[in-house]
Chains A and B, each alone.
Chain A
Amino acid sequence: MKDRFDNRFRNVVVIVTVLSAILLFRLFYIQLVAQQYKQFAEENTRSRKTVLPARGLIYDRNGKRLVTNETVYDLIAVLKQIEPFDTHKLAEILGLDTSFFSAMCQKLADEKRYYTPTVVLRELGNDVVARFQEQKFNFRGFSVKARIGRRFDAPVAAHLLGYLGEVDESDIASSDGYYELQHFIGKSGLEKQYETVLRGEKGYEYKVVDKFNREIGSYANGQFDIQAKAGTDLVSTIDLELQAYGELLMQNKIGAIVAIEPSTGEVLALVSSPSFDPSLLVGRKRSHNYPVIAADPNKPLYNRAITGAYPPGSTFKPIMALIALQEGTIVPTTTFSCHMGFTIPGLHVGCHDHPNNLDLVQSISQSCNAYYCHSFRNTIDHSKFANTEAGYRAWYDHLTRFGLGGLLHLDIPNESGGVLPTAEKFDNIYGKGRWRSSYIISLAIGQAEINLTPLQMANMMAVVANRGYYYDPHLVRSPMPQGLGLHHTAIDKRHFEPVIEGLAQVFLSGTARWYQLPDIAQCGKTGTAENPHGEDHSNFIAFAPRDNPKIAIAVVVENGGFGATWAAPIASLMIEKYLTGQVARAHAEKRILEKDFIHLPDTLTIPTPHEQ
């Protein structure tokens, strides 16, 4: 029907179709053109779940387990799923104070972890887990999650095995996206050094999740999932029994033992004392025990075997002898007189009471200081060198080829390179060209500016045992170490025999003659290192057997006095244990075990770590 306004129907049709067209354009834009919505949807609904593989185990050189995995249970909370619950009851089950929960909620809220499952308590005991699981329906938002934890099979080798800890910001930042919050990572020792070997490769599972991040199925039938690769087991070079025996002998003493297989550079034992049971620093016990152990004035966390640096004292003499022989300053038959020491105008280095005019072999077995002052002086002041400094540089070069004056790059962190003074250092002290051998004569007997780590001392002994070479000392046999260095000294092989004869005589007729073994030819050298902080350190280096040596060892007992008193018997007992598998010298062993340098009568009571 026609009416006055019938032309308006077109306008209405236009409004309806134009606005519908706007909807179609908008749909066209957001569904076909814009890509961000597809990405948002992916991010919304696809959750990447990290699958952590089992960590590799650690074995000793004989296949005995040192570190294994065990299933541990952590308490997980999802803040937004927590409903009012009986805090007293849960606190009682977990063995905590109720204030734990308010602190926990606050922390989760601060970190905006509302829907993210978060570990709030580590390593619940099995009984706690059982009780929690029975009552779990009362505690919505809480759950228990299994994880692979670390277990130490023997209470030894804490320093070298190391431990795991939660990643910190810098671990995450430097891992190129590998680690996520609350992951574990090796924090020290082999666990840290071999982290990438032990951890394996994590995998991913893609899940479709709902808005509460609850899984509602696998994503794309798991076709994008990446299988986790299990970690590789480590076979250490350590001999568990020898290591444990070393730690036993060092009980109540401060110091270190390092034993190396000379022919391979494999470290057989790496003892730092005082030590601690590595299990004490695992899981929940860690938070209680760590401060106690860290506060111990004897610094059990400090790895003296590779970080401690000590003056070698007379254990330096075999190398001094080798350098002098090589430089032609002495021959084996050279003798020097000694009247209770080395005396030149204005300088006196004392010596102990021994027969006069000793030859090379005797100078080692009797540890004559004067012999080495003379030979050192004759070496670096030798006319073939332009000046003292040039002589010193030649001497220094020899030492570096024994692995001194720098890192040996042992495969655990925190190694120290010791101190070996350079010519520049003396230039700085005395002025260029203004210092002479007499200024630095103490170096000849391993005193003053020189400090070596027990590892360097053991390695230096291994070089002598090998008659002139060493492999980089290392702690892992498998996976095969890559690029292991073989280093030769500049000493002719023929010079070693007289020195080794001297080292053998140390046990047969010299300073360590009380520690002979019936069937094993031991070679060694005592050292009594003066130290400005107190009683002399008792040092000893040794290798055995004399032919085809199987073990080279260095022992340092801090403030132990004469090298012959403590370090020598400990080294000899270690040699016996390693080469014969047992210790027949019960008396010597008992004497060592009973010696206590730590718990002196008047010292403070040291709090002892406890188990739980």
Chain B
Amino acid sequence: MSNKFWRHVDWPSVLVYVALSVFGIMNIYSAEQAEGTSILSGSINAGQQLRWLAVSLVVAVLIMLVDARFFITFGYYLYALAMLALVVTLLTAPEIKGARSWLVLGGIKIGQTSEFAKFAAVLALAKFLDGYNIRLTQTKTKLVAAALVFLPAALVLLQNDTGTAIVFFSLALALYREGLPGFFIWLPALLGGVFIAVLLVGFVNFAIVLVLLIAVVWMLASLFKLERRLAWAASLALLVSIGFSYGVDYAFYQVLKPHQQTRINVLIGLEDDIKGAGYNVHQSLVTIGSGGFDGKGYLQGTQTRGSFVPEQTTDFIFCTVGEEFGLLGTGAVVILFCFLLVRIILVAEKQKSTFVRVYGYGLVSILFFHFFLNIAMTLGLFPVIGIPLPFFSYGGSSLLGFTILLFIFLKLDAGLKYYF
């Protein structure tokens, strides 16, 4: 590999990646209160994560050394392999914290296969959309793209890992960029709003309000002599909303599990039990909120010292940043992520190859979904779904998975520039 190749690598992204990973390890070290133990020690999470970072960097270098065309050529094969791993995991995995997401072979924990399914799904999607005469305006294309996304999502859902399953749907953002109607973005957002409204006021009240709105629409139509078609359209939309809201009501109480109901209720303020179901979010808010502007100092967080926040090295790692580094730390993390995401978008837009652009947007979708939902969850803006903060949360599979996801893109970007 010549110096010319390495010059094409997007170093700012690499720097942000390293900065986030190292800062993450510092925070894991604090969150597990391992003072006195060397950060190099393998007996603590931070030491483990440091080893995983080393492994990840080696893998990143290896990715950089592989021919970029490998990922394009073998996209589907990698996808198939990942799906196979998911199935094997589903069939053999022991239950850990209610989910069957760990692939264990010969008694050795290999990893959470769903982390690797993410980049495989992105590769397959990129490969598919890069195909000849593929247009997302075609129904068939939509269906195949949807299938590529739904398959891993369904397998992960069967593993009982709802949070990670949801993440696959973020790829709608990449598809949107490639021509999927905007409808697929705003409709879920609207339905989300209806969903919360139904839970807040109840189905019956919500339906009554919508029926009254239909009446108002027709009154306005006759008063101002509006087009009948418009009134019919509005009425239809409202009736659909009523149907959906009934579905929400049914789904919430009949389909969702009690702990999921509770999490949603806590989020929208229906349950305010800070010692029970709302404990996590309450303590998370207290921990971050008490950090103030510049934090309590590294290893000085009283909430962190007192282990008030559950899962603080993994899903709630952001709390440590908030408490010990304050708004300076949290702001820096948010801005770094935002910078990385926008940079990847800009790099992706510059690509000549559809494959690399789709891959880039897939990367952005998954990274952004993780980043936004994880932090929103710690800030009480979203129900607690167990997804990690990329590069930050403790977990080897997660760090390695995101590293591969990112560095394949960096390789594709630099490598294809180099070749073409």
Q: Which residues of chain A have a CB within 8 Å of any CB of chain B?
A: 1, 3-6, 8-9, 11-13, 15-17, 19-20, 22-24, 26-28, 30-32, 34, 36-38, 40-42, 44-46, 208-211, 216-217
Q: Give chain B interface residues in 284-330, CB to chain A under 8 Å.
A: 285-293, 302-303, 305-308, 322-323, 326-327, 330
Find the A residue at minimum CB distance from B178.
A5
A-facing mask of B129-145, CB < 8 A → 1, else 0? 00000000000000000
- In the complex, are the beta carbons of B287 and A9 less than 8 A apart? no
Find the A residue at minimum CB distance from B381.
A26
Find the B residue at minimum CB distance from A31.
B327
Find the A residue at minimum CB distance from B365.
A12
- In the complex, are the beta carbons of A12 and B176 less than 8 A apart? yes
* Residues of A contacting B305 in the complex (Cβ-Cβ under 8 angstroms): 45, 208, 210, 216-217
Answer yes or no: B376 CB below 8 A from chain A CBs: yes
- In the complex, are the beta carbons of B292 and A32 less than 8 A apart? yes
- In the complex, are the beta carbons of A23 and B288 less than 8 A apart? no
A to B CB contacts below 8 Å, 11 in the list: A1-B352, A1-B354, A4-B179, A12-B173, A12-B176, A24-B334, A26-B381, A38-B289, A45-B305, A45-B306, A211-B307
Checking A11, A15, A37, A210 against B307 with a beta-carbon cut-off of 8 angstroms, the contacting residue is: A210
Answer yes or no: B214 CB below 8 A from chain A CBs: no
Task: Report the separation of the CA atoms of residues A11 and B293 in the bound assembly, to the nearest whole angstrom.
Answer: 32
Find the B residue at minimum CB distance from A26.
B379
Task: Report the separation of the CA atoms of residues A217 and B306 in the bound assembly, to the nearest whole angstrom.
Answer: 10
Q: Distance in Å from the Cβ of B283 to the closest Cβ of chain A?
A: 8
Answer yes or no: B110 CB below 8 A from chain A CBs: no
Task: Report the separation of the CA atoms of residues A12 and B364 in the bound assembly, to the nearest whole angstrom.
Answer: 10
* Residues of B contacting A44 in the complex (Cβ-Cβ under 8 angstroms): 283, 286, 302-303, 306, 308
Answer yes or no: B337 CB below 8 A from chain A CBs: yes
Answer yes or no: B341 CB below 8 A from chain A CBs: yes
* Residues of B contacting A3 in the complex (Cβ-Cβ under 8 angstroms): 354
Checking B288, B308, B335, B357 against A31 with a beta-carbon cut-off of 8 angstroms, the contacting residue is: B288
Task: Report the separation of the CA atoms of residues A217 and B33 in the bound assembly, to the nearest whole angstrom.
Answer: 13
Known: A23-B372, A28-B327, A30-B288. A210 touches B349 (CB 8 A): no
For chains A and B in complex, what number of residue pairs have CB atoms within 8 angstroms? 126
Q: List the 9 shortest-distance A-B pairs measured between CB atoms, nearest first.
A: A37-B289, A41-B290, A210-B306, A45-B302, A20-B338, A30-B289, A40-B286, A31-B327, A38-B290
- In the complex, are the beta carbons of B331 and A9 less than 8 A apart? no
- In the complex, are the beta carbons of B342 and A31 less than 8 A apart? no
- In the complex, are the beta carbons of B286 and A19 less than 8 A apart? no
- In the complex, are the beta carbons of B177 and A5 less than 8 A apart? yes
A-facing mask of B331-361, CB < 8 A → 1, else 0? 1001101100110010001011010010001
Q: Which of B306, B349, B361 has the most CB of A within 10 A?
A: B306
Known: A16-B338, A16-B342, A211-B308. A31 touches B289 (CB 8 A): yes
- In the complex, are the beta carbons of B306 and A13 less than 8 A apart? no
Task: Report the separation of the CA atoms of residues A216 and B299 in the bound assembly, to the nearest whole angstrom.
Answer: 13
* Residues of B contacting A11 in the complex (Cβ-Cβ under 8 angstroms): 176, 182
- In the complex, are the beta carbons of B285 and A17 less than 8 A apart? no
- In the complex, are the beta carbons of B286 and A23 less than 8 A apart? no
Find the B residue at minimum CB distance from A211.
B308
Task: Report the separation of the CA atoms of residues A4 and B180 in the bound assembly, to the nearest whole angstrom.
Answer: 12
Known: A19-B372, A37-B285. A208 touches B177 (CB 8 A): no
- In the complex, are the beta carbons of A16 and B364 less than 8 A apart? yes
Q: Distance in Å from the Cβ of A466 to the closest Cβ of chain B?
A: 67
Task: Report the separation of the CA atoms of residues A13 and B173 in the bound assembly, to the nearest whole angstrom.
Answer: 11
Q: Distance in Å from the Cβ of A12 to the closest Cβ of chain B?
A: 6
- In the complex, are the beta carbons of B292 and A38 less than 8 A apart? yes
- In the complex, are the beta carbons of B345 and A9 less than 8 A apart? yes
Q: Give chain B interface residues in 142-180, CB to chain A under 8 Å.
A: 173, 176-179
* Residues of A contacting B176 in the complex (Cβ-Cβ under 8 angstroms): 8, 11-12
A-facing mask of B114-139, CB < 8 A → 1, else 0? 00000000000000000000000000
Task: Report the separation of the CA atoms of residues A9 and B330 in the bound assembly, to the nearest whole angstrom.
Answer: 27
- In the complex, are the beta carbons of A37 and B306 less than 8 A apart? no
* Residues of A contacting B179 in the complex (Cβ-Cβ under 8 angstroms): 4-5
Task: Report the separation of the CA atoms of residues A19 and B337 in the bound assembly, to the nearest whole angstrom.
Answer: 12
- In the complex, are the beta carbons of B286 and A32 less than 8 A apart? no
Task: Report the separation of the CA atoms of residues A32 and B294 in the bound assembly, to the nearest whole angstrom.
Answer: 10
Answer yes or no: B267 CB below 8 A from chain A CBs: no
Answer yes or no: B375 CB below 8 A from chain A CBs: yes
Known: A12-B345, A16-B342. A27 touches B173 (CB 8 A): no
A-facing mask of B250-294, CB < 8 A → 1, else 0? 000000000000000000000000000000001101111111110
Q: Which of A1, A17, A31 has the most CB of B within 10 A?
A: A31
* Residues of B contacting A211 in the complex (Cβ-Cβ under 8 angstroms): 306-308
Find the A residue at minimum CB distance from B330.
A27
Find the B residue at minimum CB distance from A46.
B302
Answer yes or no: B394 CB below 8 A from chain A CBs: no
Q: Distance in Å from the Cβ of A264 to the closest Cβ of chain B?
A: 58
A-facing mask of B373-413, CB < 8 A → 1, else 0? 00110010100000000000000000000000000000000
Q: Distance in Å from the Cβ of A201 to the closest Cβ of chain B?
A: 28
Answer yes or no: B368 CB below 8 A from chain A CBs: yes
Known: A37-B286, A210-B305. A27 touches B331 (CB 8 A): yes
Q: Distance in Å from the Cβ of A96 to the closest Cβ of chain B?
A: 32
Find the A residue at minimum CB distance from B375.
A23
Known: A5-B177, A9-B177. A31 touches B292 (CB 8 A): yes
* Residues of B contacting A23 in the complex (Cβ-Cβ under 8 angstroms): 334, 372, 375-376, 379, 381
Q: Distance in Å from the Cβ of A17 to the closest Cβ of chain B?
A: 6
Task: Report the separation of the CA atoms of residues A211 and B310 in the bound assembly, to the nearest whole angstrom.
Answer: 10
Q: Distance in Å from the Cβ of A10 to the closest Cβ of chain B?
A: 10
* Residues of A contacting B178 in the complex (Cβ-Cβ under 8 angstroms): 5
- In the complex, are the beta carbons of B287 and A41 less than 8 A apart? yes
Task: Report the separation of the CA atoms of residues A12 and B348 in the bound assembly, to the nearest whole angstrom.
Answer: 12
- In the complex, are the beta carbons of A216 and B306 less than 8 A apart? yes
Find the A residue at minimum CB distance from B338.
A20
Q: Add 4 more A-B contacts to A8-B177, A11-B182, A34-B289 (CB < 8 A).
A: A9-B349, A20-B338, A30-B289, A36-B289
* Residues of B contacting A27 in the complex (Cβ-Cβ under 8 angstroms): 288, 322, 327, 330-331, 334, 379
Task: Report the separation of the CA atoms of residues A216 and B35 in the bound assembly, to the nearest whole angstrom.
Answer: 13
Find the B residue at minimum CB distance from A28.
B327
Find the A residue at minimum CB distance from B305.
A216
- In the complex, are the beta carbons of B306 and A31 less than 8 A apart? no
Task: Report the separation of the CA atoms of residues A173 and B41 in the bound assembly, to the nearest whole angstrom.
Answer: 54
* Residues of B contacting A4 in the complex (Cβ-Cβ under 8 angstroms): 179
* Residues of B contacting A9 in the complex (Cβ-Cβ under 8 angstroms): 177, 345, 349
Q: Distance in Å from the Cβ of B388 to the closest Cβ of chain A?
A: 16
Q: Distance in Å from the Cβ of B171 to the closest Cβ of chain A?
A: 13
Task: Report the separation of the CA atoms of residues A38 and B354 in the bound assembly, to the nearest whole angstrom.
Answer: 50
* Residues of A contacting B308 in the complex (Cβ-Cβ under 8 angstroms): 44-45, 210-211
Q: Distance in Å from the Cβ of B241 to the closest Cβ of chain A?
A: 24
Task: Report the separation of the CA atoms of residues A217 and B302 in the bound assembly, to the nearest whole angstrom.
Answer: 10
Task: Report the separation of the CA atoms of residues A409 and B189 in the bound assembly, to the nearest whole angstrom.
Answer: 79
- In the complex, are the beta carbons of A32 and B375 less than 8 A apart? no
* Residues of A contacting B291 in the complex (Cβ-Cβ under 8 angstroms): 31
* Residues of A contacting B322 in the complex (Cβ-Cβ under 8 angstroms): 27, 31
Checking A12, A24, A38 against B177 with a beta-carbon cut-off of 8 angstroms, the contacting residue is: A12
Find the B residue at minimum CB distance from A35.
B289
Q: Distance in Å from the Cβ of A9 to the closest Cβ of chain B?
A: 5
Task: Report the separation of the CA atoms of residues A224 and B159 in the bound assembly, to the nearest whole angstrom.
Answer: 52
Q: Distance in Å from the Cβ of A75 to the closest Cβ of chain B?
A: 27
Task: Report the separation of the CA atoms of residues A3 and B303 in the bound assembly, to the nearest whole angstrom.
Answer: 51
- In the complex, are the beta carbons of B345 and A30 less than 8 A apart? no
Task: Report the separation of the CA atoms of residues A8 and B335 in the bound assembly, to the nearest whole angstrom.
Answer: 22
